[in-house]
């Protein structure tokens, strides 16, 4: 019996200890804080000094279209030089990319035709000299009564014909370079850059050759030929302002206008071409460069706009933070219609004149949701 008494006494001590632990005041559990106990967010003064507060404004709707294209020559300022005589090219004086001035010789052609033009000039000069001497002799004979008036008139007509032949020979030689040594000088009629060179030394040429020898372009202004897809054709008109950027100068914007619209579609890629004229100071733009064209078209309607920095995208929805006071900032869902430059068009969710936080909006949004 003593064994069972001892076990009972032990169980009694354990039960007393458990009861004492439960009834101790220091072991009472604390209830969790309810949402109503959370402190309301107040914008700190230090943060308020660094953010931008913008007003919701009404602005004209601008459609922004991005087109692809390339830099091309201005065909109005391009000259292709074709050979006017047959012969053999002996001396090419320029290379591709060289700058040349008006009247500068680009190459020399040794030509039998030029030699023939020189001989025609010498013959014409001889004929004039002979006709002049004959006229003088006939006039002296007419004064002496040894020649008739008819002989004098005939000699004068022969002299005038010889002069006409000389003038013709001079003009022909002048049109073909004016050289009397059997050579033809290929000269540029404008100043500019050699943008194409198809001539080589010792190359034989004919005047009926369809290939040009050189192409000269001044490159003071260039064309941008851009592609417009069918969905954007209605948004483009002549005179629209454009901003052009290139891979070579990513931070530089070239401004121009739509100069011409080619009102046909390319049958291969189904795009319409538009031409943009750009000034080219410093010759920065080179033909065949890739170009990105940003075109802004203003519509005759208005929409509400906010700065891009005011937008927050979360859970497939755009939001802005409407500001009334440091302690009154609310999250407002909005519907975005489009973005042009640093502005975003809002179709629903805001009223004109409301104030929104335009910078560090994501940071404040996270604090409001924490």
Q: What does pLDDT average to over the chain?
A: 83
Helix (H) or strand (E) holding 164: helix 149-175
pLDDT (mean) for 2-9: 39
Can you tell me the distance from the alpha carbon of 160 to that of 167, in angstroms, rounded to the nearest whole number? 11
Q: Among the listed ranges 168-182, 195-209, 237-251, 332-346, which one has the minimum average pLDDT value?
A: 168-182
Is the separation of the CB atoms in 72 and 223 below 8 Å? yes
Task: Tell me: pLDDT of 58 over 60.
Answer: yes
Q: Among the listed ranges 31-35, 38-42, 154-158, which one has the minimum average pLDDT value?
A: 31-35
Task: Tell me: pLDDT of 137 over 70.
Answer: yes
pLDDT, position 25: 46
Is the separation of the CB atoms in 108 and 185 below 8 Å? yes
Q: Among the listed ranges 148-162, 177-191, 223-237, which one has the minimum average pLDDT value?
A: 177-191
Residue 118 CB neighbour total at 10 angstroms = 19
Pick the closest to residue 331 from 308, 352, 362 (CA basis): 362
Query: Terminal CA-to-CA distance of the chain, rounded, Å?
Result: 66
Is the separation of the CB atoms in 275 and 228 below 8 Å? no
pLDDT, position 171: 85
pLDDT (mean) for 214-234: 90
pLDDT, position 8: 36
pLDDT (mean) for 67-84: 89
Can you tell me the distance from the alpha carbon of 204 to that of 200, in angstroms, rounded to the nearest whole number? 9
The per-residue DSSP string of 78-141 comes to: EEEE--SS-EEEEEE---TT-EE-TT-EEEEEE-HHHHHHHHHHHHHHHHHHHHHHHHHHHHHH
pLDDT, position 23: 41
Confidence grade of residue 207 (pLDDT, cut at 50, 70, 90): low
Q: Among the listed ranges 139-143, 270-274, 315-319, which one has the minimum average pLDDT value?
A: 139-143
pLDDT, position 239: 86
Task: Tell me: pLDDT of 352 over 60.
Answer: yes
Can you tell me the distance from the alpha carbon of 273 to that of 276, in angstroms, rounded to the nearest whole number? 10
Which one has a higher pLDDT value, 237 or 224?
Answer: 224
Domains of the chain: 45-61+301-369 (2.40.420.20), 66-75+219-300 (2.40.30.170), 78-110+187-218 (2.40.50.100), 112-181 (1.10.287)
At 193, is the secondary structure helix, strand, or coil? strand
Which one has a higher pLDDT value, 235 or 357?
Answer: 357
Pick the closest to residue 318 from 307, 332, 305, 328 (CA basis): 332
Can you tell me the distance from the alpha carbon of 136 to that of 128, in angstroms, rounded to the nearest whole number? 12
pLDDT (mean) for 251-279: 90
The per-residue DSSP string of 270-332 comes to: -EEEEEEEEE-GGG---TT-EEEEEEEEEEEEEEEEEEGGG-EEETTEEEEEEEEETTEEEEE
pLDDT, position 1: 41
Task: Tell me: pLDDT of 268 over 90.
Answer: no
pLDDT (mean) for 317-339: 91
For the chain, give percent helix, strand, coil, nearest 5: 30, 40, 30
């Amino acid at each position: 019996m003593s064994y069972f008494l001892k076990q009972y006494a032990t169980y009694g001590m354990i039960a007393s200890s458990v009861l004492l632990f439960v009834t101790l005041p220091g072991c009472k559990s604390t209830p969790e804080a309810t949402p109503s106990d959370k402190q309301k967010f107040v914008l700190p003064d230090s943060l308020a000094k660094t953010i931008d507060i913008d007003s919701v404004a009404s602005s004209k709707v601008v459609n922004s279209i991005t087109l692809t294209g390339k830099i091309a020559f201005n065909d109005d300022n391009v000259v292709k030089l074709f050979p006017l005589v047959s012969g053999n090219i002996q001396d090419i004086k320029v290379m591709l990319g060289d700058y040349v001035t008006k009247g500068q010789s680009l190459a020399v052609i040794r030509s039998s035709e030029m030699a023939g033009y020189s001989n025609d000039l010498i013959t014409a000069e001889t004929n004039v000299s002979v006709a002049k001497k004959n006229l003088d002799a006939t006039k002296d004979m007419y004064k002496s009564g040894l020649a008739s008036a008819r002989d004098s008139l005939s000699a004068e007509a022969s002299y005038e014909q010889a002069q006409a032949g000389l003038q013709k020979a001079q003009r022909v030689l002048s049109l073909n370079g004016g050289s009397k040594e059997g050579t033809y000088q290929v000269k540029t009629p404008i100043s500019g850059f050699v943008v194409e060179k198809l001539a080589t030394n010792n190359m034989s040429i004919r005047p009926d050759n369809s290939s040009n020898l050189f192409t000269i372009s001044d490159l003071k202004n260039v064309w941008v030929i851009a592609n417009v897809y069918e969905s954007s054709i209605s948004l483009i008109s002549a005179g629209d302002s454009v901003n052009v950027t290139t891979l070579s100068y990513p931070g530089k914007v070239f401004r121009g206008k739509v100069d011409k619209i080619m009102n046909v579609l390319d049958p291969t890629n189904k795009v319409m071409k538009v031409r943009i004229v750009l000034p080219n100071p410093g010759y920065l733009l080179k033909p065949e460069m890739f170009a990105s064209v940003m075109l802004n078209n203003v519509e005759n309607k208005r929409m509400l706009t906010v700065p891009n920095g005011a937008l927050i995208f979360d859970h497939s929805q755009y939001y802005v933070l409407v500001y009334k006071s440091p302690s009154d900032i609310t999250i407002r869902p909005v519907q975005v219609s489009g973005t042009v430059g640093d502005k975003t068009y809002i179709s629903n969710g805001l009223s004109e004149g409301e104030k929104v936080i335009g910078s560090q909006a994501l940071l404040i949004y996270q604090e409001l949701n924490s």
